Amino acid sequence: MGRIYNRVTKIVSDQLRLPRREIDMFSYLIKDLGANDTDLIEIYVSVESTFETSIPLTLSDDQMTVGHLVACARNSEVKR
């Protein structure tokens, strides 16, 4: 799909110990991928530090998808 998508899915895959093939843009971190509160914090921190961005708190954690993380990362790339 793209460099940003690949980096974000690697972060999610590594944290949740899931094969990357099980992760797509529409995967909900909690409902679909089984993330817990600690996983979410680690994923958010990793994405924020990797892409020098911040994850807005406009969505509740149970509504967060991989696509939302990719969008945050892309927005930071555009600003640079």
State the total domains in the chain.
1
Helices H / strands E in the chain, number of each: 3, 0
Encode pLDDT of 33-72 as tens digits: 999 999 999 999 999 999 999 888 777 888 999 999 999 9
What pTM did the predictor assign?
A: 0.90
Domain that holds residue 20: 3-79
Q: Who has greater pLDDT, 12 or 77?
A: 12
At residue 1, does pLDDT exceed 80? no
Q: What is the pLDDT of residue 37?
A: 93
> CA 79, CA 41: separation in Å to the nearest integer?
24
Q: What pLDDT was estimated at residue 80?
A: 46
Q: Torsions phi, psi of 28, nearest 5?
A: -75, 135
Query: CATH number, domain at 59?
Result: 1.10.1200.10
Q: What is the mean pLDDT of the chain?
A: 91
